[in-house]
Structure 1
């Protein structure tokens, strides 16, 4: 028996198994996506995620007299914004970053940091959402750049 034939059939079997597994994955993914209830289930799942307590809540207000609460909220919103952006959930990421700016004591420096690090279209979206987000968080109709008393953490 030739030594090359000892390695030929296991390689052929491994390649055949790999191709079969890939075909299996493609077939069932296509079957899942073409199912009539797939889109409805996906929309329901996304809607449920938005309604969970951890998601954005427009009726939530911050006690601006408690610096520790403001600092915790600021750091939480920055973290959530980064997480959402890294997952590709741009809408929620922009919301969380806008909320972080709204409660920041030095929003101009944070905004300049965002302007340098984020793509221009995301930065513009944050700017557009600030007037809507800030009053709902602070319970006022004031500008997002006035009145919040959180000390900004060292961002470098």
Structure 2
């Protein structure tokens, strides 16, 4: 997918100043006619990726078919699947709490159990949090 483009001198960006209209026109042409990533376009034009992204959103520039999908690594796919699973578990837990709340014959124990399931689902949904409250040092000491 690497397209050989002729090397052209890149203008040096000046902090706090808008990019030249010619540079933005080149960015737009590359966005709308190529399948190059924002990173590749930024490298070619000297316009930062964040600026490219902002202009694409604000200007309504449309990428060619197939250029939008960026392949995820195996780790990225695993994280995405885990996130979707966490969302589903969280929705199911919220639904369980709602059902128990609306059930007139529900006991306080059933409500407490539903709330615990919801708390566990919310903990699963938080990124970067440990699943266990026991620290590694305490596990090693106990083992």
Sort the TM-score into its range (normalised by shorter chain): under 0.3
Which TM-score applies when normalising by structure 2? Answer: 0.27
TM-score normalised according to structure 1 size: 0.25
